[in-house]
Structure 1
Amino acid sequence: MASIERVKVTQILDSRSNPMIEAEVQLTDEILTRATVPFYESTLLLGGFKQHDKWPESQDFEKINRIIGPELIGKNPTDQTGIDNCLLQLLDGAVNEELRAIGLAVSIAVCKAGARVMNIPLYEHIANLARNKTLVMPVPAFNVINGGSRAGNKLTMQGFKILPVGACSFREAMDMGMRIYFHLEAVIKTKYGQDATNIGYEGGFSSSIQGDNEALGLLKTAIDYAGLTGKVVIGMDVAASKFYGTDKTYDLNFKEKKNDGSQKISGVALKSIYKSYVAEYPVASIENPFNQDDWEHYSNLTSEIGEGVQIVGDNLLANPKTVEKFINKTTCNSPFLKVKELLIRLCIRKKVETEGEITIPKMVEMAINKKSCNALLLEVNQIGSVTESIEAVKMSKLAGWGVMASHRGGETEDFIADLSVGLAMGQIKTGAPCWSERHAVYKKLMQIEEELGLEATYAGANFRKPVEPY
């Protein structure tokens, strides 16, 4: 069987012209695979301060290649767990996944190589790694209205999504999503004017909508106009950590600097708002409804409406940590510590956008025990390896949770398409049906469904629990 002959890590640009890691794995039989991972999106917290210095330099990658590459040469690319464990050792067991974008890129490239060696599709290889026997096409969660800190409108919440749960296939779900997207554009033009259909980062409309309730009303109208009432539900990505203050209140007017504080509310009041939206609109999923440390209100909301509504933990299942203790280590006598020291320097100089958020299986386990939410948002680049992604998904499913695969801003990789099918996640969030990097994932999913033919199963209304735990 072919073994790994060469590993190379370099830097390219993502879809937003920010730095991105690319890993290249070549086997002895000349099979060559590549994988990319954006690493600028999570801010490295160092002693409480965000670092916004320089981008990584070419000599840094040369040093990394001299250390990581030789450790993997000769290894069997189908031994995903073994290689991922090796990469984890090379990073000296770092818990802070921000230090592991490079390892993840290599992990994904190895996974692709393993599929090639086995001569099976990537999604099937991933299913085999997880011992999952049922492949499921996910329900796409189209982010069609952008708000929060990512848009210059009055919307407090970061994103509003539509999920075509009433479709019979993924291709039909895409058709439903496009129909609503175009109807929504028409509704926005009619209400706000011809120039009101600006597009945000995620491909959603970032119009001058005056409030979250108004945004939900627009979505309901667009769904009705498309003739899809009852077949499409709504999801909200609140990103509540963005408007949570040191006084432990939520400022619904956080976009207005130095405001009078009249729109600051408690977690209990915010919970009541969510419950009113669920009562009035077909809301089936709420992501990041509270601050990442607000376990109490997460638990209460899940207890009160979790049976009928998916409460998605993203920031909650994150564990931002400082790496100050690693920086303070001035003596590095082993190659492992040298790799980590080098990765730390890379991360300190990286260009970043949002706060440090690192999803790890340990945080999933804690949330399960606290019954704080009932769904996992899986962003692979926050986990660190393919093996850990599989572990987090299996743990979530065993707890009866839903699992939503998610892209990261700027990524150009379609790996999450194969991952979502292979692990039978049931749902996937990768932006609106707009922008080429979003289309790449949707296109790959349509190709997978065509390959599966009559064996293709669409999650549909079972998007929260498409299969039994495996």
Structure 2
Amino acid sequence: MNIKNIMAREVLDSRGNPTVEAEITLEDGSTARGISPSGASTGEKEAVELRDGDQSRYQGKGVEKAVAGINQEVKRALIGSAFADQASFDQVLIDLDGTPNKARLGANAILAASIAFARVNAVSKKIPLYRQLIERDTYVMPVPCMNVINGGRHADNNLDFQEFMIAPHHAPNFKESIRMGEEVFHTLKKLLSNKGYYTGVGDEGGFAPNLSSNEEAIEVILEAIQKAGYKPGEDISVCLDPATSEMWDNGHYKMYKSNQQRYSSEEMVDLWAKWIRTYPIVLLEDGLGENDWNGWKIMTNQLGSEVELVGDDIFCTNPSIIQEGIDRGIGNSVLIKLNQIGTVSETLQAVALAQQNGYHCFISHRSGETEDTTIADLVVATNAGHIKTGSGCRSERVSKFNQLLRIEQELGSKARFAGIETFKR
């Protein structure tokens, strides 16, 4: 079906910062939109957002240049064209941009258009987006890894580590899993309040208290799990994203928000080993920084058989970098973020490469999110088995959970819940 029109506009993400929304209309009248999210803790190798830099608008964060690129150059290239598949559409955008990191048109513009194209084809065919992405006989519903305590760059508190998550995996389906997670989330709020802690939330909807230590964050979560009526490690386990690239300081990792203590790569691995053997932790994301490849190898050799070791900043959803990690035996799982690579087809390529080589895939939002629910369909389409899209509140987070509830109901017997098997090595 030929493209009748494509347009873009400047809209807002969950932080109130501008981002790009693209809208595509086909000749049959089908219309759909896509919105690009934005991250705060970003890897050096990520595809690049295009921001205006005009300090008189949105403190320089405007995206009018990226919007204009779609409304002018991209529109001229696409109007009247038909594409056999997502990859051929995305390749036109990649070729138009002409840079290795999508910096000229902006990954925020390119991704918005790429998502809109996937969505409009689903609308035209009258099928769900997950089927448009990958057609299967049966699908796996994911375990929701809910970010219940925020730290690092996602909160103004004294916690060095960015995300403390719960994974309610002992459930018959996604509907019951999200119920379990929400019950723990609300129990945790009461527990923190009773202890005299602040219960405001950070960028991703998790609580952002000042605690006595990073360890106390896990301990209070485990207490909340028990008070909600569940067994830590059996019903609900813990996942971590310390975002250690943000802690890298002249060859060491610095606890920059708490005690200023510095750790070598080996000492960080020893820290994680102690935590994993003390607490019911099933997943560790970015346990070491994006450029610490030797440290990652040590961590993988020591902990890779015990826990899911997810690479975010080190892989950046980039197939060529993922392949290097596979060749070097780094990690055992890849975080998947659409805007790290910048198109839907390259994202699917990254997932396929990882899964074909025995790596898990952990589908992720960004801290600057929107109402766009594409990642909910993506995690189902790819059978990735787990997703993180924030905590148990804020509409830009729970919109993904709500979409997954709709998908599970629609699939009926054609869906199975991933459960604890997702995390097993």
TM-score (normalised: structure 1): 0.83
Partner of 1:323: none
| Aligned pairs (5 A) from 1:172-251 | 172-191=176-195, 193=196, 196-229=198-231, 230-246=234-250, 248-251=251-254
User: Cα–Cα, structure 1 residues 45 and 419, in superposed 2: closer, same or farther, change >3 Å?
Assistant: closer
Pairing 1:370–2:328 present: yes
User: Cα–Cα, structure 1 residues 43 and 307, in superposed 2: closer, same or farther, change >3 Å?
Assistant: closer
Partner of 1:356: none
Distance 1:27 1:206 in 2: 45
- Structure 1 residue 204, shift from structure 2 partner: 0.8
- Could you give the per-residue CA deviations for residues 150-199 of structure 1, whole angstroms, max 9, x where no partner exists? 223322111100011111100001111011112211221222x1x62121
Partner of 2:76: 70
Pairing 1:90–2:96 present: yes
Pairing 1:115–2:122 present: yes
Partner of 1:327: none
- Could you give the per-residue CA deviations for residues 228-279 of structure 1, whole angstroms, max 9, x where no partner exists? 2111110011111111111x11112x126xx8x5x11211111111111111
The answer (yes or no) to whether the contact 1:401–1:465 under 8 Å persists in 2 is no
Distance 1:71 1:438 in 2: 34
The answer (yes or no) to whether the contact 1:78–1:115 under 8 Å persists in 2 is no
Pairing 1:149–2:149 present: no
Partner of 1:328: none
Distance 1:45 1:228 in 2: 40
| Aligned pairs (5 A) from 1:376-415 | 376-412=334-370, 413-415=372-374
- Structure 1 residue 208, shift from structure 2 partner: 1.6
Q: Partner of 1:409: helix, strand, or coil?
A: coil
Distance 1:198 1:64 in 2: 38
Aligned Cα RMSD in Å?
2.3
- Could you give the per-residue CA deviations for residues 4-49 of structure 1, whole angstroms, max 9, x where no partner exists? 1111122111122101101010011111111110347477989xxx
Partner of 1:283: 281
Q: Partner of 1:185: helix, strand, or coil?
A: helix
Report the residue type matching 2:110 in the other structure. G
Distance 2:421 2:66 in 1: 46
Partner of 1:311: 309
Give the structure with higher Rg (CA): 1
- Structure 1 residue 395, shift from structure 2 partner: 0.5
User: Cα–Cα, structure 1 residues 64 and 453, in superposed 2: closer, same or farther, change >3 Å?
Assistant: closer
User: Cα–Cα, structure 1 residues 62 and 190, in superposed 2: closer, same or farther, change >3 Å?
Assistant: closer
User: Cα–Cα, structure 1 residues 43 and 454, in superposed 2: closer, same or farther, change >3 Å?
Assistant: closer
Distance 1:432 1:410 in 2: 13
- Structure 1 residue 449, shift from structure 2 partner: 0.3
Distance 1:423 1:32 in 2: 24
Partner of 1:419: 378
Residue from 318, 329, 346 that aligns with 1:360: 318
Unaligned runs of at least 5 residues, structure 2: 46-50
Identity %: 34
Report the residue type matching 1:458 in the other structure. F
Distance 2:181 2:221 in 1: 12
Q: Partner of 1:38: helix, strand, or coil?
A: coil
Report the residue type matching 1:363 in the other structure. I
Distance 1:226 1:300 in 2: 37
The answer (yes or no) to whether the contact 1:169–1:457 under 8 Å persists in 2 is yes
Report the residue type matching 1:61 in the other structure. V
Q: Partner of 1:463: helix, strand, or coil?
A: helix
Q: Partner of 2:387: helix, strand, or coil?
A: strand
Residue from 451, 461, 464 that aligns with 2:410: 451
The answer (yes or no) to whether the contact 2:253–2:264 under 8 Å persists in 1 is yes
Q: Partner of 1:362: helix, strand, or coil?
A: helix
Pairing 1:270–2:268 present: yes
Aligned residues: 411
The answer (yes or no) to whether the contact 1:19–1:38 under 8 Å persists in 2 is no
- Structure 1 residue 74, shift from structure 2 partner: 2.6
Residue from 162, 166, 170 that aligns with 1:162: 166
- Could you give the per-residue CA deviations for residues 441-466 of structure 1, whole angstroms, max 9, x where no partner exists? 11000000000112211111122489
Partner of 1:101: 108
The answer (yes or no) to whether the contact 1:20–1:40 under 8 Å persists in 2 is no
Bigger mean CA offset, 114-123 vs 21-30: 114-123
Distance 2:392 2:368 in 1: 15
- Structure 1 residue 63, shift from structure 2 partner: 5.1
Distance 1:138 1:201 in 2: 23
User: Cα–Cα, structure 1 residues 25 and 64, in superposed 2: closer, same or farther, change >3 Å?
Assistant: closer
TM-score (normalised: structure 2): 0.91
Distance 1:405 1:464 in 2: 14
Report the residue type matching 2:121 in the other structure. G
Unaligned runs of at least 5 residues, structure 1: 319-358
Q: Which has the higher contact order (CA 8 A, sep 6+)?
A: 1
Pairing 1:31–2:37 present: no
Report the residue type matching 2:291 in the other structure. D
